[in-house]
């Protein structure tokens, strides 16, 4: 019952102001967000790299309606790539990008143009880019932009949410040679008309999607913390080259399992950073009751 409320709160400006003003919130946020600036994120990247973990970085921000803010988000990614190259961290690294932060809701091709700038800069230093998928109203636009980007940057990846009813069809269109697809369950409040509502149905949809990806010629990225899903993914990947797929998990969640998987498989950690952490943080609370308990406990343990 709490998850829909938390997901709704993730889009509420009033709740944003309340939560971000709480003096105790920052310490809890640090569990899921690798700091508010690039230097903090780079420190996390170096530590994870020492343990054999790959990374994808997300400069936090979404739903911008301001052209200047969209440009600032693009520039933050350009700064990220320059820093990775300077510090020798670029090889095999990835950046995760929300098109809504690049001006997707604004008129014209602003988000596409910014995404092209980002992909060009990533390619120059040997990094890749993956487009995050947001709520169902943005899927068509995101896939359209993906197609245009792949003309010049065929390595651009995309996240697909298993909870959306349309995703099985989308996945069948995305299993071509080299196509990088991150399969996730989904973290947005969606109506029953477009999305499965029960955990059981979402899990079944995820496995169907995973089967499609593993049978295809693309590069599946298994975005899940669910032990059962990971077990199924390993079974479905039997016969594939270990370099032809990878696992992905979020920063701060199941860290011991991340390191265990990295011993024998490609394992990538999704690292969010930046000052605009509210929406991301609320979705993490909504995903697992244990995360919410951790948050609430912080207020009685000080």
Query: Looking at the predicted structure, is the pLDDT value of residue 242 above 90?
Result: yes
Q: What are the structure tokens assigned to 302, written together?
A: 């000080």
pLDDT tens for 223-233 read 999 999 999 99
Query: Looking at the predicted structure, is the pLDDT value of residue 164 above 70?
Result: yes
Q: Which residues are catalytic?
A: 132, 182
The DSSP-derived string for 207-229 is HHHHHHHHHSSSEEEEE---HHH
Averaged pLDDT of the chain: 88
Classified as helix, coil or strand, 164 is strand
What percent of the chain stands above pLDDT 70?
83
User: Given CA atoms 4, 6, 10, 13 in this order, what sign does their dihedral have?
Assistant: positive
Cα 285 to Cα 105: distance, rounded to the nearest angstrom: 26
pLDDT tens for 180-221 read 999 999 988 899 999 999 999 999 999 999 999 999 999 999
Closest CA to 33 of 247, 279, 256: 279
Query: Looking at the predicted structure, is the pLDDT value of residue 155 above 70?
Result: yes
pLDDT tens for 114-125 read 999 999 999 999
What is residue 292's predicted lDDT score, i.e. its pLDDT? Answer: 52
* Lowest model confidence (mean pLDDT) among 13-27, 87-101, 244-258: 13-27
Residue 222 near residue 247 (C-beta atoms within 8 A): yes
pLDDT tens for 246-301 read 999 999 889 999 999 999 999 999 999 988 777 777 676 676 555 555 444 444 44
Cα-based angle 172, 178, 183 (whole degrees, multiple of 5)? 50
């Amino acid at each position: 019952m709490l998850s829909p409320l938390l997901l709704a709160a993730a889009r509420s400006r009033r709740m944003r102001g309340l939560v971000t003003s709480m003096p105790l919130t920052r310490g809890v946020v640090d569990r899921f967000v690798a700091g508010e600036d690039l230097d903090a994120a780079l420190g996390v990247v170096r530590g994870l790299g020492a343990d054999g973990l790959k990374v994808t970085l997300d400069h936090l921000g979404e739903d911008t309606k301001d052209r200047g803010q969209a440009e600032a988000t693009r520039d933050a990614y350009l700064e990220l790539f320059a820093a990775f190259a300077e510090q020798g961290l670029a090889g095999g690294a990835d950046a995760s990008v929300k098109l809504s932060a690049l001006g997707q809701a604004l008129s014209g091709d602003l988000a596409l143009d910014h995404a092209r700038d980002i992909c060009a800069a990533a390619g120059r230093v040997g990094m890749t880019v993956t487009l995050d998928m947001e709520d169902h109203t943005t899927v068509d636009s995101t896939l359209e932009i993906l197609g245009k980007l792949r003309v010049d940057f065929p390595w651009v990846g995309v996240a697909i949410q298993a909870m959306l009813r349309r995703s099985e069809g989308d996945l069948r269109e995305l299993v071509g040679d080299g196509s990088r697809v991150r399969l996730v369950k989904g973290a947005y409040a969606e109506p029953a008309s477009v999305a499965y509502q029960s955990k059981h149905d979402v899990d079944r949809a995820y496995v169907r999607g995973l089967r499609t990806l593993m049978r295809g010629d693309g590069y599946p990225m298994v975005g899940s913390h669910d032990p059962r899903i990971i077990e199924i993914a390993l079974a479905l990947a039997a016969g594939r080259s270990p370099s032809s797929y990878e696992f992905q998990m979020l920063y701060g969640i199941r860290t011991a399992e991340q390191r265990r998987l990295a011993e024998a498989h490609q394992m990538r950690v999704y690292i969010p950073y930046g000052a605009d952490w509210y929406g991301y943080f609320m979705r993490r609370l909504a995903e697992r009751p244990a995360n919410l308990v951790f948050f609430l406990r912080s207020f009685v343990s000080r």
